[in-house]
Amino acid sequence: MRYRVLRPPYCYRWAVLLSALVLATTAAVTLFSSAEGAPAAPAPVAAAAAQVTPAPATELPPPPAAGLVRSAAGQGRTVALTFDDGPDPVYTPQILDALTRAGAVATFCMIGTNAVRHPELVRAVVDRGMRLCDHTISHDEQLPRRSEQRITAEIAGCWSDLQVAADRDVPVPYFRAPGGNWSELLTTVAARQGMKPLSWSVDSRDWTLPGTAQIVATVQRAVQPGAVVLLHDGGGKRAQTVEALNQLLPWFTAQGYRFDFPG
């Protein structure tokens, strides 16, 4: 039996066909693997988020270089007593009585909201020959961070509250920044209202409630002729301040001090 033998041209054609098929299959598999198996690139948003750091806390503006009132108006052995954060219906009358008994004067740095609540105390302070100081409407210790409009509202608003509470045109010659946190803008706005920026030279630290003896000792140790002393008649329990004042007033007199207003 005879078999037909394939001639070389047919073998060549089948080899070429099989080779082409194998190459096409390999290319398809490679393309599919590249598209589906390659790792995804990191998302740009996630990378950016990882680099975000919290913004640093803003600091209070620097205090004015000069111009704060820290001394009494008179010369010699004078002392200017100042009382912050009132008026208070419990402690302001007691402090007024103590000052009157000693023949002393003082300056009361009042918060506008308290003046509105107790206008009779504003009138009592003025009637006793004391002076008023603007201590803003709300005692915002972050006031230097606020806008000029907000600062003006706090200072001018308190001035207006004191006028209405006093029920007369009453001088308010001073402004004191809440917490003693000053800025150039605060002093500028206060000056527009005709007020001097009132600071202090002796901090009694009565606001820490250290006890009557400690308040007395702090003031006696730090006071010098012309000092402006920081005390409080409001903002909390001030029984220690009242007791300390009753000891300090005769001590000042015995030391030859005269009571005055800030310069």
Beta carbons of 82 and 262 less than 8 angstroms apart: yes
- Listed in sequence order, the residues at least 6 apart from 155 whose beta carbon sits closer than 8 Å to its beta carbon are 134, 136, 175, 186, 189, 190, 193, 195
Kindly name the residue from 84, 88, 134, 233 that is annotated as catalytic: 84
d(CA 175, CA 195): 6
- Least Cα distance to 246 among 102, 93, 50 occurs for 102
d(CA 186, CA 175): 9
Beta carbons of 79 and 53 less than 8 angstroms apart: no
d(CA 36, CA 111): 71
CA triple 124-130-131, angle to 5 deg: 110
pLDDT score at 165: 98
Is residue 232 part of the annotated active site? The answer reads yes
Residue type, 231: L
Q: Which pTM does this prediction carry? A: 0.77
Residue 126: CB atoms within 10 Å: 19
d(CA 258, CA 225): 9
Kindly name the residue from 135, 161, 232, 233 that is annotated as catalytic: 232
d(CA 134, CA 112): 8
CA–centroid distance for 61 within its chain = 10
Of all helices (H) and strands (E), which one includes residue 258?
strand 258-259
Is residue 140 part of the annotated active site? The answer reads no
- Least Cα distance to 242 among 217, 216, 203 occurs for 216
DSSP string of 200-250? -SEE--GGG---HHHHHHHHHHH--TTEEEEEESSSS--HHHHHHHHHHHH
The DSSP call for residue 182 is -
Q: Which residue ranges make up each domain of the chain?
A: 78-259
Strands (E), 101-143: 106-110, 131-134
CATH no. of 78-259: 3.20.20.370
Question: How confident is the prediction along the chain (263 residues), in pLDDT tens digits per residue?
Answer: 333 444 444 433 434 334 444 444 444 434 333 333 333 443 433 333 333 333 344 566 665 656 999 999 999 999 999 999 999 999 999 999 999 999 999 999 999 999 999 999 999 999 999 999 999 999 999 999 999 999 999 999 999 999 999 999 999 999 999 999 999 999 999 999 999 999 999 999 999 999 999 999 999 999 999 999 999 999 999 999 999 999 999 999 999 999 999 99
pLDDT score at 59: 62
